[in-house]
Amino acid sequence: MVAPSRPVLARSLPKSTFPYHFQRLKTTLYCDVTTRSAHNTSHAIRTLAWSPLGNFVATGAGDRTLRVWNPEKPSVRYSTELRGHTGAVEKVAWHPLKEAELASIGSEGVVRLWDVRSKDPMVGEVKIGSDGLTLVWSPDGEELLVGTKDDELHRISRSTLSILSSQKQHSQTNQNIFSWSGNEVFVTTGEGQVKILDYPSLDPLHTINAHTSSIFSIELSPPGTYLAIGGSDALISLWDTTDMICKRTLPSCVGPVKSVSFSFDGSYIVGGSDEGNTIDIAHTETGEYVHSFDTQGGNQCVAWHPRSYVLAYSCESPLGFRVVG
């Protein structure tokens, strides 16, 4: 159902040598906190994403700050602030085939498109009429699927910057992703289920009864073999996509799992929560935890680099994010 996979672009490390490799990596802080915002919790990062080649990191915060960072230069003066949102930046997502094109959605109900290498970065906008919550590109980059806080899904055309169709969902929806083929969409619900919908019709195909409470995060592994589902029960469940059977659960997070991320090869997985003080890296095939490190606070957003064992995660003190590697 979820084929084809994404190509693996670098050599994988076995779990026996991964801890030695990862614990030697340097951790770098990226922070734009000023005296004014130092104690402003709304400046905390709510969304974080690597560009397709890993040349940029985009972050969005609750105080409307949308920023694009150069991972090689952590100083804020080498970053770019993209201005336009009048509400909290709820989600950022890079075009899957264009390194410099970024999409973002704000709580004010506007989807904005950006060319981060342009002097005038705003490409266009689409008003969706209610509070924005989720945003994801189709694998071919031709459409965006946007979710709102009133549980409506909107298909948006990249070429015309218009809404193609809208569909009201019958339960609370928290996150959505595409299969790698683009023929299905996975939608998480407040009832602990994942709805698999046909695309573009959005007709229901299958329901996964994944958790006993709300699901906040979901990600498909690059090889397409596993689906990771993170819930308010502090668990990550790993599902075999061939027969949609739960193979194992990972209990590392202290609080609700707000984000999940697979390494570029699908071999390792992490979860992010705004509670707890550590990040635990698990081996996907065995569920064995291979490395843990202290984060000195919650880390709601976690994201592996798309091509190497480099990990970005949001941090609370100081407000910003860190990159290991």
Q: Which tens digit of pLDDT belongs to each residue from 130-165? A: 999 999 999 999 999 999 999 999 999 999 999 999
In total, the chain counts a number of residues equal to: 325
Contact 93, 74 (CB under 8 A): no
Distance CA(188)–CA(94), nearest Å, equals 21
Distance CA(43)–CA(272), nearest Å, equals 18
| Tokens representing residue 167 in the block | 């569909």
Which residues, in sequence order, are bridge partners of residue 282?
269, 289
Q: Predicted confidence band at 39 (pLDDT cuts at 50, 70, 90)?
A: low
**pLDDT of 3 above 60:** no
Phi, psi for residue 156 in degrees, rounded to 5: -120, 130
Which residues, in sequence order, are bridge partners of residue 134?
147
Q: Predicted confidence band at 37 (pLDDT cuts at 50, 70, 90)?
A: low
pLDDT in tens, 96-116: 999 999 999 999 999 999 999
Cα 23–Cα 26–Cα 31 angle in degrees, nearest 5 = 130
Question: Any idea where the domains of the chain sit in the sequence?
Answer: 18-324
More confident residue, 84 or 317: 84
What share of the chain in percent tops pLDDT 70? 95
Q: Name the architecture of domain 18-324.
A: 7 Propeller (2.130)
Please give the C-alpha separations between residue 178 and each of 62, 81, 174, 245, in angstroms, as whole numbers.
26, 28, 14, 19
**pLDDT of 35 above 50:** no
Nearest to 252 by CA among 298, 289, 301, 294: 289
What rounded mean pLDDT belongs to the chain? Answer: 93
**pLDDT of 309 above 80:** yes
| pTM tops 0.75 | yes
**pLDDT of 9 above 90:** no
